[in-house]
Amino acid sequence: MKKVFLASFTFLFSLMIMGGCNTAKTSQNSGIIVRSKTINLFNGKNLDGWYTFLQYKGKDNDPKKVFTVQDSLLRISGEEWGCITTNEEYSNYKLIVEFKWGTQTYAPRVDKAMDNGILLHSTGLDAGSGGIWMHSIECQIIEGGTGDFIVVGDGSEKFALTATVSNEKQGESHVFSPDGDTVTIHEGRINWFGRDPQWKDAKNFRGEKDVEKPVGEWNRIECIALGNEITIFLNGKLVNHAVNVQPSRGSIQVQSEGAEIFFRRIDLISLNQNQLH
C-alpha cells in the first residue's frame, strides 16, 4: 500500500504544475493522459450554478443573506449553519479555492476556532447529515486544522477513505504520514500531517507548523480528486492524501459554520485519465 501512495504522489505533483484550459499532457511516470478544462464554479458576480441550504430554513431560503457576492468576492457570514451546493455532480478534477477569514463569529462559536469546510463527493439528501449537509468527504477549513479529512458519512461502508498515518493519534483522530501504516475509516477524521498536538478550539489559534496564513491573508487550497483518490495541497504544500475513497463523485458544498469567510476563486479543472497500453 505504501508503494501505491508514493506512486500517486509522483503523478499528483505533475498535476500541480499543470495549467491552462483545454490542455492535454502525458505523465511520463504514470503513462496517464490528463485532459483538463477549467470551470469557474464561482463567477464573481452571483451564485449561478449553486443553491443555498440552511438548517431550519431549507433550500434557497436565505433571509439573513448568509451567502452574498460583494466586490467580486463570495462572502459567507457564518451566522447560520448551512452551505451552498453545486447543481452539478463532478468526478476527476482539481478544485482550486482561494479564501481568507473575516472578523465576525457567531454563537455558539464566538470564541472558537474559525471553522468552515469544503464537502467533496456530496451525495444523497440535503440535510442528510445532522440536518444540515449531504453525506460527503470533507476537506476541513478550520484554524490550525485546514487540510484535515472528515468522513461526513452515515457510518456505513458507502463512505470511506484509506490513508497512511503515524503511530500516535491526536485524541481520537489519526494523523496523516506518508511513511506510516494504512488505516481505513468510515467516520471520523484524518488530521493533516502538521496539526499541532496541542490544538485548541480557540479563535486565532496558530500551530507551530501551520501552513495556513494569518487571518486576513489569502490562502490557496487545492483538492485533487482523481479516480478514488483525494489529495490536498495548502499554499503549495501537500498536507493530506487518501485512497480508496468512497464515493468518488458527487456535488461540491461550501459550508457556513459560525465564522465569516471570503472566497475570491472556486475553480474546477476537470481531469480525464485513460490508461495507455
Mean pLDDT calculated for residue range 128-148: 97
Is residue 36 over pLDDT 70?
Answer: no
Mean pLDDT calculated for residue range 65-75: 98
| pLDDT in the model for residue 10 | 42
**Cβ-based neighbour number of residue 187 at 10 Å:** 13
Distance CA 201, CA 251 (A): 29
For residue 39, list its beta bridge partners.
268
Secondary structure letter of residue 152 according to DSSP = E
On whether the CB atoms of residues 42 and 23 are closer than 8 A, the answer is no
Full 3-state SS string of 97-118: EEEEEEEEECCCCCCCCCEEEE
Q: What angle do CA 220, 221, 225 make, to 5 degrees?
A: 145
Is residue 124 over pLDDT 90?
Answer: yes
Per-residue pLDDT of 152-168, as tens digits, reads 999 999 999 999 999 99
Task: Beginning with the edge strand found earlier in the chain, give each strand of the sheet holding 82-86 in spatial order.
Answer: 58-59, 50-54, 82-86, 251-256, 115-123, 135-142, 149-152, 188-191, 174-175
User: Which triple of cell numbers denotes residue 217?
Assistant: 491573508
Is residue 34 over pLDDT 70?
Answer: no
Mean pLDDT calculated for residue range 113-135: 97
On whether the CB atoms of residues 76 and 256 are closer than 8 A, the answer is yes
**Amino acid in position 132:** I
In 3-state terms, what secondary structure has residue 14? helix
Mean pLDDT calculated for residue range 130-149: 97
Is residue 151 over pLDDT 80?
Answer: yes
**Cβ-based neighbour number of residue 272 at 10 Å:** 14
User: Which triple of cell numbers denotes residue 124?
Assistant: 444523497
User: Which triple of cell numbers denotes residue 263?
Assistant: 472566497
| pLDDT in the model for residue 275 | 32
Distance CA 69, CA 78 (A): 14
